[in-house]
Structure 1
Amino acid sequence: MRIGIVTPVLIQHPGTRADWETGAGIDDVAAIAVAADRLGFHHVTCSEHVAVPTDVAAERGGTYWDPLSTFGYLAARTTRIRLVTQVLVLGYHHPLEIAKRYGTLDRISGGRVTLGLGVGSLREEFDLIGAEFEGRGARADDALRALRAGLGRSTPEYHGEFYDFTDMVVEPHAVQDRVPLWIGGRTRRSLRRAVELGDGWVPFGLRLDDLRAMLAATPPPAGMDVVLAAGRPLDPLGSPDAAARALTCLRDAGATIAGVTLDASGVDHYVDQLATLVELAHPLGIEFD
């Protein structure tokens, strides 16, 4: 199992946001990413929302940094750590738009992009940008096939139900032969979509018992990543035994990668928590670069 971090500051949920995150900026985020890079963590994350209705923001948060611009900056400050969109909403973009923008990022970063992708559920945001909400699942499946055909190719070609393209040049394009596609979601359909069309599954909001049952019913193929999140922020310095137990539970549930949040009072404390987590994780057989 590997460990990535759900990057603080970039998403701020009212119930989990630490006080220091409210006034933090890109240099604070970069300091954490640089430390995670140096320590050998697998990835950092950034999610996507264009605009969140005020009533939804009161519950789910309204701060969502743009992944492309944020990762462009972090790519220049780091060397090894992967840059994971967790997640982009497929229905908000044409597949070649994603292939061009994040293919450029892949080239800039030296092949470190992983695309976390989701179907989306916020109807108001779909309506705002003129995207189709009904039938978004079938459209997302076609977008995934089109994206696989488009990524890493100068002259991609695809003919599907919703997307059709040929005789187009996309330059620059991704330098990875196969950019990993992680599928986000909390339904059995999202897991099947990941097995059929992706390289990883990133569930959220599910109990470990439910995750185990879903994975037993739909076993991931060899080489597919299962990215599971700890239920609450870890505190390696203050509660090392609890942090170690949480990682062990994720590993035993089938995680190939753990996505963690950390309890911290500021950037320096966060970096110390990262270093301590590495020390705790090594005896568990967890890998770091």
Structure 2
Amino acid sequence: MAEIQIDTNVAGLSSEVVELATKAEEFGFDGVFTSELDEDPFLPLSLIADRTESVTIGTRIATAFTRSPMIFAYMAWSLQRFSGGRMVLGLGTQVKGHNERRFSVDFEWEHPGSRLREEVLSLRHIFDVFQGNEPDLDFNGEFYQFSLMTDEFNPGPLEVGPPDIWVAGVNEYNIKMAGDVADGLCMHAFNTPKYTDEVIAPLVEKGAKIGDRDPDEVTLSASPFLITGATEDEREKRRQEVKRRIAFYGSTRTYHDVLETHGWTDVGMELHELSKEDKWDEMTELVTDEMVHAFAIDAPPNALADEILEKYGGTADRIQLNFDGGDYWKDILEDLRSA
């Protein structure tokens, strides 16, 4: 079994965040990623790159349509240079409401996945120009056109090469697209090992065939819900939080394919109807222990390594877990490395 890489996520610009990232590296995490939530996801990466030596850094994810691909290219190229080749540019479409109402970005396209695919291709072209593999900037797509790059504005090649590009995918098109043109797939938290094995991995393989690629070149990055803690009371509190999140995502039809794989379509429809009435407590009660077991990694710290390997060993290449800075994580990561 190939060794699974263990990542974590951090947020903010405070010294505590940088300390958490350095502790994550010290304990043995393989990567530290940021998300586009209530902070810019790129700014913390400069600080983290400066204070760490070996961990992969990256966005998981940055919203794809809120910046020009050229802006992404410059930021990712600078971070790749500054970190010595550790940068991953993770992009996702985000939903229509956030694009239009939070970012004031037009979202009137029939297939957002097609635009994300073209964004990846345009970034590949820009990276080739930066690296000197293409003499001229000349990309003419449906959504993006780039044709001006003088020496003054070209940052020049990197010894470590361009950063990897990952995309987030939930629907069939985006998952196949990851296999076709991306270096990795960021899988949603509302996901299970069964769904990954039976649906996601085959779709990535189909996409890889379209792109005439080896599917093993595409990193599968999982981010399951995590339930752990020193006491059963702590774990039960987190278990209830996870049930609420499962109920929330399960009420959205976008994610019902995952429920269908497990035979829980009726639960999804019931959750959807209750959500329209804001009956969140009732929704949480519909989430069974069986569902929690499918969606979450649930174990005390001394059994967490075994649970991670049982659930995702051989299923994902990387797994992102929330890291609270607790010293028990050092033992967990040591157990994973020795397994």
User: TM-score normalised by the shorter chain: which range applies?
Assistant: 0.7 to 0.9
Larger mean Cα displacement after TM superposition, 125-134 or 105-114: 125-134
Larger mean Cα displacement after TM superposition, 227-236 or 201-210: 227-236
Equivalent residue for 1:26? Answer: 14
Equivalent residue for 1:105? Answer: 79
Q: SS at 2:217's partner residue?
A: coil
Cα distance in 2 for partners of 1:236, 1:44 equals 24
Cα distance in 2 for partners of 1:217, 1:236 equals 38
Q: Report if the CA contact (8 A) 2:192-2:224 is conserved.
A: no
Q: SS at 1:278's partner residue?
A: helix
Q: Please give the TM-score of this superposition, normalised by the length of structure 1.
A: 0.77
Change (3 A) 1:223 1:137: closer
- Give the drift of 1:8: 4.1
1:79 to 53, 58, 74: 53
1:211 aligns with 2:192: no
Within-5 A mapping of 1:1-289: 1-10=3-12, 26-49=14-37, 64-135=38-109, 136-151=112-127, 153-154=129-130, 156-169=137-150, 170-172=153-155, 175=158, 176-204=160-188, 205-220=190-205, 221-235=215-229, 238-252=300-314, 254-262=315-323, 264=324, 267=325, 269=326, 272-284=327-339
Q: Please give the TM-score of this superposition, normalised by the length of structure 2.
A: 0.66
Cα distance in 2 for partners of 1:273, 1:187 equals 36
Q: Report if the CA contact (8 A) 1:230-1:246 is conserved.
A: no
Larger mean Cα displacement after TM superposition, 183-192 or 127-136: 127-136
Cα distance in 2 for partners of 1:40, 1:159 equals 43
Equivalent residue for 1:58? Answer: none
* 1:89 aligned partner, one-letter code: T
Deviation track 1:90-117 (CA, whole Å, cap 9, x = no partner) reads: 1111111100122112212222110111
- Give the drift of 1:129: 3.4
Greater RCO (Cα-Cα under 8 Å, separation 6 or more): 1
* 2:307 aligned partner, one-letter code: R
Q: Report if the CA contact (8 A) 1:152-1:177 is conserved.
A: no
Q: SS at 1:4's partner residue?
A: strand
Cα distance in 1 for partners of 2:98, 2:301 equals 41
Cα distance in 2 for partners of 1:74, 1:156 equals 32
Larger radius of gyration: 2
Equivalent residue for 2:291? Answer: none
Cα distance in 2 for partners of 1:157, 1:236 equals 56
Q: Which runs of 5+ in 2 are unaligned?
A: 131-135, 206-214, 232-299
Change (3 A) 1:173 1:255: farther
- Give the drift of 1:194: 0.5
Cα distance in 2 for partners of 1:249, 1:156 equals 45
Query: Which protein has the bigger helix share?
Result: 2
Cα distance in 1 for partners of 2:227, 2:320 equals 10
* 1:5 aligned partner, one-letter code: D
Equivalent residue for 1:57? Answer: none
Equivalent residue for 2:280? Answer: none
Moved over 6 A (4+): none
* 1:251 aligned partner, one-letter code: G
* 1:3 aligned partner, one-letter code: Q
Larger mean Cα displacement after TM superposition, 182-191 or 228-237: 228-237
* Number of aligned residue pairs: 249
